Chain A
Amino acid sequence: MKILCQIGVIFSICWISEIIESLLPFPFPASVISMVLLLILLLTNVLKLEHIREKADFLLANMAFFFLPALVGVMEYRDALQQYLVPLLVICVVSTLLTFAATALSIRAVLYLMERRKKHV
């Protein structure tokens, strides 16, 4: 019953988020709305972590598995994928590298500046 309630809580939040998504005048994915919603509920203590812990642990621990059917869906687009395979791979490799480097280096810069300011004050 405990897990059943937790599923109920999380799925309710997801459903409400889909309603909010349909009401918003701009494209904002429902999953992000549900994430923000859940965070607000937790921060305002409306929802306690105990209310959803087991279910959430299950979902988070198996995150990669939930992507499987979506990835298998690629087989439906074999021809198009073959045609664009090289640019697709190049774009993925280069942008992943650049994004990692940009994030890591900008954070390092921020941490360095914060450190220096602390010393000056």
Chain B
Amino acid sequence: MSELFASPFFGVALSVLAFWVGVKIQKKTKLAICNPLLIAAILVICLLLIFRIPYDAYNQGGSLINLFLSPATACLAISIYNKIQLLRKNWLPVVVGCTVGSVVSMGSILLMCRLFALDAAITASLLPKSVTTSIAVGVAEAHGGIPSFTVAAVCITGILGSIAAPFLIRLFRVKNPVAAGLAIGTCSHAVGTSKALEIGETEGAMSGLAMGVSGLITVVFALFLTL
């Protein structure tokens, strides 16, 4: 029986099905907390646990999906390219906003990890959590973090950011779509960007831009932290 689940088709099919259910629920309820990714992950985990299917079996297909993360990250270049005029016009706010955001993100994480007396491995896993998974995992691994923890923190942050984004925009009275998009992208990477795209085209583009720029800045700052 278990060899049936070890087929890559199983993992891919289950993932698509779970994600489809997630998207349907999101569309029906229109609630931010019903994040398709969160629903899909809970569905898959529950199914695997109930039917005692090992994660490794699911991951035969899962790793195929994982393969697309890097190309998808590369394609963020296109959202930057499409908005190159917007970037040229707003380069100062983009650079300043993303730098301040990334520094505050890493600084606050470092400080809180000290407060909670978390060990170096956990700290390294959490440190890059505001940037997109593929970048964050790379940074975490380079600093002795646990990749799976990073992925969890990145996803929690992304979902949190995409849920909180509309409220935060109102709370801080961010009327400028450029500022809103940049803030979403800097604090909640690709998951936030998908939310920003729903809010508006400019927001989405700036969010995509911000996750790219913040990713770069985080990688660079992380280099200094090792020294």
Q: Identify the A interface with B (CB < 8 A).
A: 10-11, 13-14, 17, 26-32, 34-39, 42-43, 49, 52, 55-56, 59-60, 62-77, 80-81, 84, 87-108, 110-111, 114
CB of B84 within 8 A of CB of A104, answer: no
User: What would 28 A/B residue contacts be, using CB atoms closer than 8 Å?
Assistant: A14-B74, A26-B223, A27-B138, A27-B223, A31-B132, A35-B73, A36-B77, A38-B77, A38-B78, A59-B71, A60-B78, A65-B40, A66-B66, A66-B72, A69-B11, A74-B41, A75-B55, A76-B148, A77-B146, A92-B160, A95-B104, A99-B183, A103-B101, A104-B179, A107-B178, A110-B93, A111-B176, A114-B92
**Closest chain A residue to B175, Cβ basis:** A108
By a CB distance below 8 angstroms, the chain A residues around B172 are 100-101, 104-105
In the complex, are the beta carbons of B76 and A35 less than 8 A apart?
yes
B44 adjacent to A72 (CB under 8 Å) = yes
Roughly how many angstroms separate A95 CA and B82 CA in the complex, as a whole number?
A: 30
Separation of A111 and B175 alpha carbons in the complex (Å): 12
CA distance A106 to B95 in the complex (A): 10
Question: Binary interface profile of B, 175-207, with partner A (CB < 8 Å = 1, else 0)?
Answer: 010111011101110110110000000000000
**10 closest cross-chain pairs (CB), A and B:** A69-B62, A29-B138, A27-B142, A103-B101, A99-B187, A38-B77, A31-B134, A102-B104, A34-B74, A31-B73
Which residues of chain A are near B215, meaning CB under 8 Å? 32, 35
Contact yes or no, B74 A31, CB < 8 A: yes
Q: For A95, give the chain B residue with the smallest CB separation.
A: B108
- B101 near A72 (CB under 8 angstroms)? no
In the complex, which of the residues A13, A29, A94, A97 contacts B168, with contact meaning CB atoms closer than 8 Å?
A97
**From residue B110, how far is it (CB to closest CB) to chain A in Å?**
10
Given contacts A88-B126, A96-B161, A103-B187, contact A67 B155 (CB under 8 A): yes
Q: Which residues of B contact A91 (CB under 8 A)?
A: 109, 112-113, 116, 126, 153
Question: Any chain A CB within 8 A of the CB of B96?
Answer: yes
Residue of B68, B78, B149, B165 near A80 (CB, 8 A) is B149
The SS class assigned to the B binding surface is: helix
> What residues on A are CB-neighbors of B146 within 8 Å?
77, 80
**Shortest distance between the CB of B196 and any CB in chain A (Å):** 12
* Residue from B65, B71, B98, B160 with most neighbouring chain A CB atoms (10 Å): B71
Query: Which of B's residues lie within 8 Å of A, judged by CB?
Result: 11, 15-16, 18-19, 36-37, 40-41, 44-45, 48-49, 55, 58-59, 61-63, 65-66, 68-82, 84, 92-93, 96-98, 100-102, 104-105, 108-109, 112-113, 116, 118, 122, 126, 129-130, 132-135, 137-139, 141-143, 146, 148-149, 151-153, 155-158, 160-161, 164-165, 168, 172, 174, 176, 178-180, 182-184, 186-188, 190-191, 193-194, 210, 212, 215-216, 219, 222-223, 226
Contact B118 A87 (CB under 8 A): yes
Identify whether the interface residues of A are mostly helix, strand, loop, or mixed. Answer: helix
Query: Are A68 and B44 in contact, CB atoms less than 8 angstroms apart?
Result: yes
- Are the C-beta atoms of A34 and B70 separated by less than 8 Å? yes
Bound form: Cα–Cα A32–B180 in Å: 23
Given A74-B151, A114-B92, decide whether A92 and B174 contact each other with a Cβ distance below 8 A. Answer: no
Complex CA distance for A114 and B84, rounded to whole angstroms: 20
